[in-house]
Structure 1
Amino acid sequence: MNICVFCSAYSLDERYSAPAAEFARLLGHGGHTLVWGGSNAGLMGVLADGVKEAGGRLVGVLVELLAHKGYQGADELVMTRDLAERKAQLLMRADAVVVLVGGLGTLDEVTEVLELKKHALHDKPVVVLDTTGFYDGLRSQLERMDAEGFLPRPLAELITFAGSPAEALALLAPASE
């Protein structure tokens, strides 16, 4: 399975990097391909290193302005002109999407993927791996949108939340069937 992961390009402490490293190991040992932002920095680098060490494949989609941060060990590295093209390429190459901790870029990526899914422009599983409660506010906001009628599809059809790396990978299983 080609699994797109959105996450931070910043180096973060162990409470964030350890779940990312564990998810990477599981992804690689499962023979999956990581489709990610192509960077060697921060959690992106942790993910790529872990997947590679565990025998998985790496497909990076890098935007030109960040070419200097490209991961040198990728099996495939795609260069895009801008962030919009990068997001489109990431989604196109993925069978499923997993969201780890991140900042504004990660939030932008996940909301675009959800907007596209809301309009049935894809039906790929979207899972938020949230081991620390980092996304409690996002989850609460999405639940409120669902409860108050702002979503044309039930929230559970758009996104799921996982409390562990193993649970996140298990929630993607329907994508591989």
Structure 2
Amino acid sequence: MNICVFLSAAELDERYTRPAREFAELIGKGGHTLVWGGSEAGLMKVVADGVKDAGGRLVGVSVEFLHTLAREDADEMLIARDLAERKAMLLERSDAIVIMVGGTGTLDEATEILELKKHGLHTKPVVLLNTAGFYDGLKQQFQRMDKEGFLPVPLTDLVFFAEDGVAALAYLEESAGVR
């Protein structure tokens, strides 16, 4: 399975890097491919290293203005013209999406993926990996949107909230019929 992971390229502390590394190892050991922003920096590097070290493949999609940060030993590296094209390419190359901790770029990617799914423009499983409670506030906001009628489909049809990498990968594999 090609698993797209949206996440930060920032240098983060152990409460985020340790779970990210553990999830990456699960991806690699499961024989899956990481599809990610292609960066050799921060949490993106941690996850790519973990997948590669555990025997998984790496498919990066960088963007022209960040191409100097692209990982050189990726199995495949694509360069998009801009961020919009990058998001489209990431979605196209993936079978499933995981949203990990990140800043405004990750939040932009997450909301676009969910908006496209809401409108039926893709049916890929989406997991929001809530490491260290990072997305508690966002989860609460989504639940409120659902409860108050702002979502035309049930929240559970849009996204699965996982507290750890084991639950995230189990959900993705179950959704894809992988055992």
* 1:80-118 deviation line (CA, Å, top 9, x unaligned): 000000000000110000011000000000000000000
Shift in Å, 1:29: 0.3
**1:159 corresponds to:** 159
* 2:65 is the counterpart of 1:65: yes
In the alignment, the residues of structure 2 paired with residue 95 and residue 174 of structure 1 have an alpha-carbon distance, to the nearest angstrom, of: 13
In the alignment, the residues of structure 2 paired with residue 175 and residue 160 of structure 1 have an alpha-carbon distance, to the nearest angstrom, of: 11
Shift in Å, 1:175: 3.8
**1:56 corresponds to:** 56
With structure 1 as the length reference, what TM-score do the two structures score? 0.98
In the alignment, the residues of structure 2 paired with residue 5 and residue 23 of structure 1 have an alpha-carbon distance, to the nearest angstrom, of: 11
* 1:3-58 deviation line (CA, Å, top 9, x unaligned): 00000000100000011100000000000000000000000000111100000000
With structure 2 as the length reference, what TM-score do the two structures score? 0.97
Q: Matches of residues 16-165 of structure 1 in structure 2 within 5 Å?
A: 16-165=16-165
Moved over 4 A (4+): none
In the alignment, the residues of structure 2 paired with residue 27 and residue 171 of structure 1 have an alpha-carbon distance, to the nearest angstrom, of: 13
Which structure 2 residue ranges, 5 or more long, are not aligned? none
In the alignment, the residues of structure 1 paired with residue 89 and residue 140 of structure 2 have an alpha-carbon distance, to the nearest angstrom, of: 29
In the alignment, the residues of structure 1 paired with residue 125 and residue 40 of structure 2 have an alpha-carbon distance, to the nearest angstrom, of: 26
* 2:171 is the counterpart of 1:171: yes
In the alignment, the residues of structure 2 paired with residue 171 and residue 98 of structure 1 have an alpha-carbon distance, to the nearest angstrom, of: 11
Are the aligned partners of 1:95 and 1:175 in contact in 2 as well (CA < 8 Å)? no
In the alignment, the residues of structure 2 paired with residue 93 and residue 175 of structure 1 have an alpha-carbon distance, to the nearest angstrom, of: 17
In the alignment, the residues of structure 1 paired with residue 13 and residue 24 of structure 2 have an alpha-carbon distance, to the nearest angstrom, of: 16
Q: How large is the RMSD of aligned CA atoms in angstroms?
A: 0.7
The number of aligned residues is 177
* 2:3 is the counterpart of 1:3: yes
* 1:98-151 deviation line (CA, Å, top 9, x unaligned): 011000000000000000000000011110111311101110110000000000
In the alignment, the residues of structure 2 paired with residue 31 and residue 173 of structure 1 have an alpha-carbon distance, to the nearest angstrom, of: 11
Shift in Å, 1:176: 2.7
In the alignment, the residues of structure 2 paired with residue 70 and residue 173 of structure 1 have an alpha-carbon distance, to the nearest angstrom, of: 28
In the alignment, the residues of structure 1 paired with residue 63 and residue 72 of structure 2 have an alpha-carbon distance, to the nearest angstrom, of: 15
In the alignment, the residues of structure 1 paired with residue 175 and residue 151 of structure 2 have an alpha-carbon distance, to the nearest angstrom, of: 23
Task: Name the SS of the counterpart of 1:59 in structure 2.
Answer: strand
